[in-house]
Amino acid sequence: MHRIYFDNAATTALAPEVLEAMMPFLTEKFGNPSSIYSYGRESKMAIEAARKTVARILNCNPGEIFFTSGGTESSNTAINASVNDLGCKHIITSPIEHHATLHTVENLEKKGIVRLSIVKLTDKGHIDMADLESLLANSPEKTLVTLMHANNEVGNILDIQAVGELCKKYDAIFHSDTVQTVGHYPFDLKNTYVHFINGAGHKFHGPKGVGILYVNENIQIKPLINGGSQERNMRAGTENLYGIVGFAKALEMATEHYNNDSEYIRGLKSYMAEQLTHTFAGVSCNGDTNGRSLYTVLNVSFPKTDKTDMLLFNLDMAGICVSGGSACSSGASSVSHVIKALYNGKSETMVPIRFSFSKQNTKEEVDAVIEKLKDLI
């Protein structure tokens, strides 16, 4: 069976060029980067070269980039460090964050360590900036604002510059989960007021199990994982050498081809949205699809009927890979917390499906999915 993969927000296929860059470090260049002899020095040099590549692309200093196991570890590190090391006693977040953020802040609140505030959303699912400013202005405690740059389910993009300016005005710490945008969006961290961002290699055709945490040079934090002196005493454990090399190569390729790839993928998203809404009665797009939205993600809702109730399962049986929300929660039987937050009271009548695209997808695949949906619905 020929499979059609439309779940690139969950993970992407490893690019052949990235695998090629990784292979020497999976084979003959296997030295431990902490070793002082030639094998170790060779590995250490590869890591530092990767760090410089990432820093150059994000426009920050190499010393501000730390390699981790992925986005979840990076978010956990940033949030816990903000509380434990930077004195934040109040956290502001949104109801549509990734669970790596939501579960972390909820756990801190449950333990009585912080006060937690949930910022309101606009009708289109964006952060209500007036409410955010009100929460900041009325906070007597040092505050952490943790808001994702692009939502992984509906694609809404945060105005990161505007939020940064509010955090600067009220002397708040700002963490943005940028897992869906690193590798898909240009960054200029030297000119952005943000203390932490994070990325994951597998979201832009790099390897799984490797990510980054950017820590602004003006703050000092302690490690989440203790042990050895790796990552300049910030993240103990032998480095994921080949993963780090692959991360940098994938980010380099994504940046080099950003203009052409983003335009192409945006065209696929627009075409599919048009085909779905024109072909099927009652189908609607979730989030700010035609506004401030990530070009890779399209989330639509089908009216809930006997035929659509098993739509994800039936598409899978037909070899079409899509999701109902975050892959990290794909076992859930009900609609996601994001859809519930956006459509309170209406979400149980909807069958939301996320289609997410990469440069490897084609218009012909979109047409094939539309035809299969006609058969199923």
The domain locations on the chain are 4-12+258-376, 16-256
Predicted pLDDT at 332? 45
Assess whether pLDDT exceeds 80 at residue 99.
Answer: yes
Confidence of residue 50 (pLDDT cuts 50, 70, 90): very high
The residue with tokens 């952005």 is 192
Looking at residue 327, its pLDDT comes to 56
pLDDT at residue 73, as a whole number: 98
Alpha-carbon distance 264 to 171, whole Å? Answer: 40
What integer pLDDT is reported at residue 331 of this predicted model? Answer: 43
For residue 188, pLDDT over 60 is answered with yes
Exactly one of 60, 88, 285, 328 is catalytic; which is it? 328
CATH topology of domain 4-12+258-376: Aspartate Aminotransferase, domain 1 (3.90.1150)
Q: How far apart are CA 326 and CA 354, in angstroms?
A: 9
Residue count of the chain, please give it: 377
Bridge partners of residue 196, in order along the sequence: 175, 215
pLDDT at 325: 66
- 4-12+258-376 and 16-256 agree in CATH topology: no
| Mean pLDDT across 138-159 | 98
DSSP H or E segment with residue 78: helix 71-84
To the query of whether residue 328 is one of the catalytic residues in this protein, the response is: yes
Q: List the one residue out of 64, 25, 66, 26 whose CA is nearest residue 45.
A: 25
pLDDT band, residue 348 (cuts 50/70/90): confident
- The answer to whether 96 touches 121, Cβ cutoff 8 Å, is yes
Does the pLDDT at position 129 exceed 60? yes
| β-strand pairing of 211-215 with 4-5 | unpaired
Distance CA 372, CA 358 (A): 20
In this structure, of 9-18, 48-57, 333-342, 358-367, the range with the lowest mean pLDDT score is 333-342
pLDDT at residue 184 tops 70: yes
pLDDT digits (tens, 9 = 90+) for 211-258: 999 999 999 999 999 999 999 989 999 999 999 999 999 999 999 999
Q: What is the pLDDT of residue 2?
A: 87
Is residue 187 left, alpha or beta, with left meaning phi > 0 and alpha meaning psi from -120 to 50? Answer: beta
Question: Residue 328: what pLDDT?
Answer: 54
Q: Are 179 and 98 in contact (CB under 8 A)?
A: yes
Q: What are the residues whose beta carbons fall under 8 Å from the beta carbon of 81, sequence distance 6 or more? A: 221, 222, 224
Give me the pLDDT at residue 329, please.
46
Flag whether pLDDT at 19 surpasses 70.
yes
Confidence of residue 142 (pLDDT cuts 50, 70, 90): very high
Going by C-alpha positions, the residue among 236, 239, 260 that lies closest to residue 248 is 239
Please state which CATH number belongs to domain 16-256. 3.40.640.10
